[in-house]
Structure 1
Amino acid sequence: MSHPKIVYKGRGGEVDFTKPPLLYVTNSFADSEISISSEISSDGIGTYISQFQYVKNEFKISVVIWGDVTSVLNELSVIFMNDIRHNSPGKLYVNDTYINCYITASTKTNWNRYHEAVTVEFKIYAPTPLWILEKTYSFFNGVSSQNEDGFSFPISLPTHFASKVRPYIIEEPLYFDLLAKISFFGPAVNPTIWIDGRQFSVTGELLTGERIEIDQLTKSVVKITASGETINMFNSRLKSPSMFTALIFESGLVEYNRSFPIEIITYERLVEPIWK
């Protein structure tokens, strides 16, 4: 197994733990823990498991910082504290998977006498102890990927949209039911799709260059205009059944009238990062 790529992305910036002046040493991301709740069987023989709970939400990463140590430490502190101050977790990526978390503490050892190197162990807290792997599915039929003015996204559509007529399928998750972000791209009126027979719909009109995003992870529905303005569409969503409960996977079939482009980003939740 090669050394993982480890990057923290927060409100105040990014930190690459595997790039100078940081020299990655070790981490505890491979650790996982499942708590078991059990009760005595009714016949008094043995127990039965009533619940599994994923409880590993604290991790550590150690690095050596070289060079202008004090400046680097000050910069890291600003980035990490920005997320804590706003009560908004950053994303810690290990290769292609990430966990929403905060950097809550650091322990510094092995300072050299000229402060040109120091070993730092960072403590990481994840409110939800699951790693996320995002997969993107983009479906596009019969609509130009660029408008007459030739503007770039969000006016036009992402260049990776597929245009071939074929069944639209999303992949089966490894462990848990999927969460997803579903985007409708204009022009469209009352855009609607079905995933495994379950309806996702928003009442309203989308013009060319506009999109609606239904995000199950953040439980939000917004419209993004061509100018980048965000409009809350929460009350225009299909309310029953709820669009925010996880996708119970059957065949992964996506159905709609194919008159407008859609994009589905699935959030696959894992108990450990995916190693390479």
Structure 2
Amino acid sequence: MTASRSNSRPSVLITGASSGIGLATAHRLLDRGWRVFAAARRLEAMESLRCRGAEVLPLDLADQASCRQLADAVSGQVRALDALVNNAGYGETGPVETMPIERARAMFEVNVFGLIGLTQMLLPPMRERRRGRIVNLSSIAGRFVTPGAGWYGASKHALEGISDALRLELHRFGVQVVLVEPGLIRTGFEAVSEASLQQQSTDPVWGPMMRRVAASWAEGFRRGSSPELVASTIVSALETSSPKPRYRCGSESEVLVLQRFIPAQLWDALVRQRMIG
């Protein structure tokens, strides 16, 4: 699916393109000759993409009307996308017991329902043309969870499951579905979650655990990989002729390999030792 294989530029929509992985991916695909539609809530943060020729569009994944407006705008420019990179998403932290259900539900609205809802809107022309590629950004949290990130991990587990079903369903239509599972990436996630972590650290029951969780994450993100590493993985998944169902990349992503060979009780003990004490 490289630009050099076609007389016209291949088209891609990247959500969450205002920062981090989405921004880095958009720049890299522009470098490689793709026609880039970049979508996010903060239009001003995508000015560097607009200056390079990307078509910048607003998107709030939690708002179905916003998703429909984006889908209509893209469809008005290209009959069918060559690729969709579902990068937009966010995470909140906190113990399962104390996370307000409305905040947990809001996470699922973006990370699962909003993401798949937008995909449903853009998929029919790709399926009818019998060609296309969908890259869903999951996380190592989509394969295992840690204390204090249960709801976020649950949303990524859900994304993994629905992506597996979509990959199987679309195979005969020539549309390929890929999951990218980054490890710890320096995207500012830890800064965004810092306020809630500090608030939870004073909880009389869960405070000690959340302080250990915060310290463990801070140490991990200091050694985290750059968004450009994930962008490179996404480009590879888009441009190879036969993509793998899953790509893991970045700091600590190798844990996904190790976990498969460790009994659950031992795994739990290792995680408790590191993050609970």
Q: Output the TM-score relative to the length of structure 2.
A: 0.25
Which of the two has greater strand per residue? 1
Greater C-alpha radius of gyration: 1
Which of the two has greater helix per residue? 2
Q: Output the TM-score relative to the length of structure 1.
A: 0.26
